[in-house]
Amino acid sequence: MLQKLPQFLLEIMHKYFRVQVEGVENLPRRGGAIIAPNHSGFSGFDAMVLMHEIRKANGRLPKVLSHHFWFLTKTTSIPAQKLGFIEATYANGLAELKKKHMLVLFPEGEFGNFKPTSKAYQLQEFKRGFVRMAIETGAPIVPTMIIGAEETHINLNQITLTKFLRGAILPLPLNFLPLPAKWKIKFLKPLYLPYKPSAIKDRELMMDIASDIREQIQDSLRHELRARESVFF
């Protein structure tokens, strides 16, 4: 019963947000793969909804590299682990891909979902770890765009913590109850990077690849936002 409960709640979220999904044919049906979406809405709902839609689409349940705050206490770490969240470290991501698992990884990190809503759909700088993971394991990268999470949870600003946790940031939310924005998830064509593992030492190449993928997702977001008729109706 407890195992069915999360899926039951996720299906409620699917209906509440009226999730539309495109490009499921681009999801690899076997082997390691990196799903690389834009990150938005401070709650982490985007990760949970994305996992659920992938499972519905092709039967695979990916792991999600998640913010270390989830793992600071047992109160949050136990449910996070049951959902399939693992702490976002390079070693953890590499281990999952070597096991031929599908991995959801948000290249913007917390700077994406903790950014203020005034910067909605403006992709932040991509970290390069996901590119190195893909090259080192041969796993494809599936660029992915998510629309709707930005309007589901409104973030007024972000707070930078410098005294106790240097460099850490937190959101300043307006609402905790999710607003019924319509969501759309689109999986773009997978990218197979034709480089030898030694290429991960080329910092400039890693930055260029990450930047190209970021721009591909940004272009897709712009196109979909222009075509969107309404946010809530």
Which CATH number is 108's domain given? 3.40.1130
Residue 179, in any domain of the structure: yes
Domain-embedded: residue 145: yes
For residue 98, is it within any domain?
yes
Q: What is the pLDDT of residues 54-75, one digit of tens each?
A: 999 999 999 999 877 777 777 7
233 inside domain: no
What's the total number of domains in the chain?
A: 1
| Alpha carbons 224 and 176: distance in angstroms, whole number | 26
Gap between the Cα atoms of 84 and 95, Å rounded: 14
Domain span at residue 11 reads 4-224
At residue 72, the pLDDT reads: 75
The pLDDT of residue 1 is: 37
Given a cut of 50, the residues of the chain with pLDDT beneath it are 1-2
Do the beta carbons of residue 38 and residue 222 sit within 8 Å?
Answer: no
Asked if 112 contacts 123 with a C-beta cutoff of 8 angstroms, the reply is: yes
183: in domain? yes
- Residue reference for tokens 């917390």: 110
